[in-house]
Chains A and B, each alone.
Chain A
Amino acid sequence: MGQVRQTRRVQAYDGELGAAVARAQDGDDTAFAVAYRIVQPGLLGYLHGFVGDDAEDVASDAWLVIARDLGRFKGDGAGFRGWTATIARHRALDHLRRQKVRPRPGGTEQDVLDLPGRHSTHEQALESLSTERALELVRGLPRDQAEAVLLRVVVGLDGPAAARVLGKRPGAVRTAAHRGLKRLARQLGVGGETGEGVTDEASRTLGEST
């Protein structure tokens, strides 16, 4: 898993999204709604993993900016997802700054680490994964890993685009996404190291993050 695969489902809409954005830039509000419905699920998922329960508010803020600045945007469907993610991220950072709330509430890590053993197989672990649980796990990651995973997997950006959104080098983002996914896999009990991997990961994690 050296290469993070982007969700094909997400990217399948890029052609349609690009066309919708182009029409919206000419003032077509139906096209704007189409673009909204394509982009919003990933954007909202990203924000849920980033700012938690305030995601809807931050997303609303972001869409005001997106609507206002749409005429400035240049690019295709994939570019539009990157552009909107950048705007959403800035709104989220503003929001966090205002709230002085840490994006990651502490103390969840221990609970997270206890869990994998509940499932007998990998399939079960994944299939029973709830949205809340997944978000909890992602938000338990260090922030750079969490953001990298969310942008790559949930928003569906490619490496360079995710790096541009985060203002980092592509290599750093790739590494962060990779580590984040690796860690999630272990916590969920997938990835082939289930049995001994849990305790191993637990001690390593504690050693690293403190």
Chain B
Amino acid sequence: MGERLSGDGVPGRRRAHPGGAVSDPSQVRDAAKLETVLAAVIRAGDLDPEAEQRALVAFRATHGTGAYRARTRRRDDWRPPAERRARRPVKLTFGVVFASLTLGGVAVAAIGSVGSSRDGAGQGTAHPSAVAPDRPGGGTPAASSGRPGPTDRPATAQDTEAHCRAYEQVKDRGKALDARAWQQLVAAAGGKDKVAAYCSEQLARATAAPSRPAGPGNSSEGAAAAGNATGGNTGASGNGTSGNHAGGTDNTDGNGQASDDKGTGKHK
């Protein structure tokens, strides 16, 4: 046993020796005969019918009930290796596609819910390319155009607000709340059960400052935005900054052309 196991690891002289014997046809014949004889005498000739009955009873006990199909563990899979390998990529591909669809769906849902709840004049007229570069700066377009701007509402507040709106959409959908953004939101609120209260407070604060962006300074932005009205519906990047400004007043309106008219009218 043990002593033999170690012997197997040494492919030395003794292993080469029997290999040389293969060429001898009489030895090959003898070896084949030995194996045949061994198999014949060691394989059990007469089977015990009682043992077979016991096995059958056990079989009926589990399979007679029908609909018996347990999960195949790795050790139960004795298909040829090629077949086993071929099946794996299919599973893997399916898993990856499913995961990306799920995650993508959550992301789209979050974006969509934020956009639909606050789209209005501001968002409808905001062109993504005009706004997106400003985002890292934290709501600077207002500063550059000289209007008062949302100085009391830094970027994090806007994020919180966005998360709050999205939270209402996704909180009942399984693992969406595991994402880091939600964890931050929960942490900011101080607990999962306090998120609702926290969010309503945040949203109330957001809507309490509605009139400020309607100030005199944003005509240039408004004009630029008006030209791009049809593209404004892309949502995600548009709602981060300028969407907020007008959000309070034009909140419930639809997007597209109607809001564009309204926004333009308001700005001018």
Contacts and interface: CB of A to CB of B under 8 A. Distances in A.
Given A32-B59, A71-B69, A175-B8, A41 B43 contact: yes
Contact of A176 (B8, B38, B41): B8
B35 A4 contact: yes
Given A36-B52, A60-B55, A2 B19 contact: yes
Nearest to B9: A172
B47 A37 contact: yes
A60 B22 CA distance: 40
20 contacts: A27-B63, A32-B55, A32-B56, A32-B59, A45-B44, A48-B44, A56-B51, A59-B51, A60-B51, A63-B58, A74-B78, A75-B77, A80-B78, A134-B41, A142-B1, A143-B4, A144-B5, A153-B38, A188-B34, A192-B24
Interface string A1-32: 11111010110000000000000100101001
Contact of A142 (B4, B34, B51, B69): B4
A3 B32 CA distance: 10
B76 to A, nearest CB: 4
Contacts of B63: 24, 27, 29, 32, 67, 70-71
Contact of B33 (A24, A48, A74, A126): A126
A175 B54 contact: no
B43 A154 contact: yes
A191 interface: yes
A1 B43 contact: no
A44 B42 CA distance: 9
A154 B38 contact: yes
A74 B30 CA distance: 37
B3 A209 contact: yes
A150 B42 contact: yes
Contacts of A75: 77-79
B19 to A, nearest CB: 5
Among B28, B43, B72, residue most surrounded by chain A Cβ atoms (within 10 Å): B43
A41 B31 contact: no
Nearest to A176: B8
A92 interface: no
A49 interface: yes
B1 to A, nearest CB: 5
A73 B38 contact: no
Nearest to A182: B18
Query: A interface, by DSSP: helix, strand, loop or mixed?
Result: helix
Interface of A: 1-5, 7, 9-10, 24, 27, 29, 32-33, 36-37, 40-42, 44-45, 48-49, 56, 59-60, 63-64, 66-76, 78-80, 82-83, 86, 104, 122, 126-127, 129-131, 134-135, 138, 142-145, 149-150, 153-154, 156, 160-161, 172, 175-176, 178-179, 181-182, 184-185, 188, 190-192, 208-209
Contacts of A1: 18, 21-22, 27-28, 31
A131 B45 CA distance: 10
Nearest to A3: B22
B4 A27 contact: no
Interface in B192-238: none
Contacts of A4: 35
A74 B76 contact: yes
Contacts of A134: 37-38, 41-42
Nearest to B7: A208
Contacts of B5: 144
Given A63-B54, A71-B68, A175-B8, A49 B42 contact: yes
Nearest to A65: B58
A96 to B, nearest CB: 12
Contact of B39 (A48, A127, A154): A154
B70 A72 contact: yes
B55 A36 contact: yes
A191 B71 contact: no
Contacts of B54: 60, 63-64
